[in-house]
Structure 1
């Protein structure tokens, strides 16, 4: 008998054509295009049918939006026709087809640069529109906004995802410690509380207590930060006793106590700002209070492992030999550059210090003679500072400016004055009309966005950089 060995059919080729019937409209594309959405996408699964099947795959969805998404798969860009649809419509369809990551990549703003940024949106929660606190995700630019006792979450596309009501009347501090978990505190209620934002439920609380000390009761949270394994929260009692608690993320139980002190003076007030510096393994805490004679406060670095203070400065006081009497109005840390920044309360000067080389007076004062900056206030009384993407953003009353490192420039420090020229360049982020919207109260970066809140102003401003070659902006 003749040996008839059957030959297996050749495998599919990337250029093989695929026909799809979406909502009654016929589309024809290649196998490589439909599979470019990823192996787990719906289109990749449907493309596993035999290529010789003459009947197109039927998908009961909107053909016009599918046309936009198919163009995205082909070119990694959104076509101009995408303007016909809302962000929500595009996101819903991309989620259905399993290609949300491709849409996210195309619609995400370009890398954030302060000198080329503008307000692209203002997020206003449906109720209690005055935000009391907010926290942004560093990876994708999503944001959670506390307003009154509620928390509204907005996804990477700034689309409202959910609103939950907490048991607190007024949330004054919030921190995203897990993708779905927020740590929240209130200056009118005791304890640090943890909420599952996606599930809308309370998952735990932490209270500072000491049965041996009657002064420790009803301690309220003033600031929150976190590391990979711990949550740090500063607690303040009505009797002015205060400390920073280290809380284990996995158990939400207190692991240790840092810097317990009595807040009877400026040098022992409760920290109002906490920042974890991961590369150095230290917690940066600062406190500032203002009175008839100006501002005073401290900056303190703790090692949570030993519980010891590794460096501190008290202003006015120690560490101010070059500019004694001009205490800081606000402090922040550039975690990428290992640099402390402070904005002086009287002069408005910006100073920096290398965390790796802190001493009695480590400050270098930045000087930039940009002539375009002389038409606005130079003071520092109502100033806030936030470091993001190796830039220092300063809010002076209503104005927003950015200090950017000048690459390849020569650092010139003038003797004992501690003034440095040519290291950073200062520019306005905003236009004059932007500065008239109100005093800036908080600045925070997330993803390729900057979020700004203002005194007595509804909502949170969203700032993004422009890019003429970027994907089409959908509003």
Structure 2
């Protein structure tokens, strides 16, 4: 018997027989359902070439997935639902193969509008959007968090009754953490939920003596091991609370002895490369701007900057957002005057280099309400919202020199197939997708980088 004959596998999917090989099945991963079924069959009978393995699924969708494993190319018939295909891919355990073929890595220079998701007219305007690592997202609308999976199918919403949402963080695609507070009492809390079932998993508590204390968490950041939140509450010092990301148990409380208001931080960002936490107090939550990089292990501030002394002539406009770019050792900021600045994080107490200044004439929000610019980072690219569009910058740094920032393109709603314009309230990047929230139209837009056939990707080589 030849090697090809020895590897031959017969699969009966919904009454249609498919003949393939083990090498093709293994392209989908050794942990895929197909691989596990064949392995189970082999454990029961060493000769699987003479027996069919029956799988009760739709053969039309399986045919497309099998062709993807064979050729490395995904061709979806026009009559076939992409969402249904993704559900079948999830069942067979080859969803990662579908994702890799549909999109390349996120490249701001050649973004393509994918689709727009509109909210229910009865819901409140979206206040912010957060993205998961696999390309799903969630949108906070009043006291409700709407959750979408990778296929953009809406899951069961998380209704928090009379609580307002401060921030949301993803621990993984199936688990999110929500910070809330009561409008009347300004006291809230934190809890994690399953994104598929909307069921509560853990409640995050802060010890206060022999009891636990009520607190309000303003901003979240998640690492592989810990959850960080800027907290304040009755009887508590302001600071950064730390919990175990798996168990939800309280682990630490970080304060600053020099008086920096960690508890007022409106944005936290975990930097996995350096194991540092960016802490930012920004407008409109704070009258002064405080930025610092904190080492949670040693409790030391590695880098710090503030405009509270008002000694910098360009900081009369308060900062509205900040983000760290680890690859170029740069803190990127934007202020109320729509100016984008860059600070070298290797040197403390330096004035931002206001390299980009927008004209107010470009702001198209008009009477619909002004939305301050937001920042997002993907590798060496910086995304900055302005008016109804997003500016993309490329950042490079070599030989210890100061980072060089170059604007490479601008993405506008003109590229979204005439879906209309509107001010941008927030942005998020996750799973090689850019999400843009437009509250005036109660919708968010999804942008992707199309996969090019000549890109260097591993192709399927089975059945050759």
Query: Shorter-chain-normalised TM-score: which range?
Result: 0.7 to 0.9
Write out aligned runs for 1:98-247 (5 A): 98-107=93-102, 109-124=103-118, 128=123, 130-138=125-133, 140-166=134-160, 169-188=163-182, 189-208=187-206, 210=208, 218-237=214-233, 242-247=238-243
Matches of 1:52 and 1:269 in 2, distance apart? 64
Shift of 1:271: 0.8
* Superposed displacement of residue 35, structure 1: 4.9
Distance change (3 Å), C-alpha of 1:38 and 1:456? same
2:179–2:216 CA contact under 8 A, matched in 1: yes
1:72 aligned onto 2:68: yes
Name 1:455's counterpart in structure 2. Answer: 439
- How far apart are residue 405 of structure 1 and its match? 2.6
Quote the Cα distance in structure 1 between the aligned partners of 2:420 and 2:237. Answer: 39
Number of aligned residue pairs: 437
Structure 2 SS opposite 1:105: helix
State the Cα RMSD in Å: 4.2
Mapped contact 1:12–1:51 kept (Cα < 8 A): no
1:353–1:363 CA contact under 8 A, matched in 2: yes
Give the 3 Å change call, closer, same or farther, for CA 157–470 of structure 1 in structure 2.
farther
By how many angstroms is 1:403 displaced?
Answer: 0.9
Instruction: Give TM-score scaled by structure 1 length.
Output: 0.76
Shift of 1:339: 1.9
Give 1:388 shift.
1.9
Task: Kindly state the Cα deviation for residue 225 of structure 1 after the two structures are TM-superposed.
Answer: 0.7
Whether contact under 8 Å (2:126, 2:439) holds in the other structure is: no
User: Quick one: distance in 2 between partners of 1:436 and 1:325?
Assistant: 34
CA shift in 2, pair 1:425/1:173, >3 Å: same
The answer to whether structure 1 residue 395 and structure 2 residue 414 are counterparts is no
- Matched residue SS, 1:440: coil
> Quick check: 2:166–2:218 contact (8 Å CA) kept in 1?
yes
**Contact kept in structure 2, 1:297 and 1:316, CA below 8 Å:** yes
Using CA pairs under 8 Å that are at least 6 residues apart, name the structure with larger relative contact order, 1 or 2: 2
3-state secondary structure, aligned to 2:328: coil
Distance 1:144 1:290 in 2: 23
Contact persistence 2:363–2:388 (CA under 8 A): no
- Cα offsets for 1:272-328 (capped at 9, x unmatched): 11112233333211112359xx9642213323234343433222526x546353442
Pair member with larger Rg: 1
- Runs of 5+ in structure 2 lacking a partner? 456-464
Conservation of the 8 A alpha-carbon contact between 1:208 and 1:235:
no
Residue 457 of structure 1 and its aligned partner are, at CA, apart by 3.6
Q: 1:437 aligns with which of 421, 424, 429?
A: 421
Q: Given the alignment of the two structures, is residue 424 of structure 1 paired with residue 406 of structure 2, yes or no?
A: yes
- SS of residue in 1 equivalent to 2:109: helix
Would the aligned equivalents of 1:288 and 1:296 in 2 still touch at CA under 8 Å? yes
8 A Cα contact 1:289 1:296, kept in partner: yes
Contact kept, 8 Å, 2:328 with 2:397, in 1: the verdict is: no
Cross-structure match for 1:469: 453
Deviations along 1:4-53, one digit per CA (max 9) or x if unpaired, are xxxxxx57536865555544445444554345434455555458674774
Residues in 1 aligned to 2:453 and 2:165: alpha-carbon distance in whole angstroms: 40
TM-score using structure 2 length? 0.78
Residue 79 of structure 1 and its aligned partner are, at CA, apart by: 2.0
| 1:278 aligned onto 2:272 | yes
Contact 1:191 1:208 in 2 (8 A): no
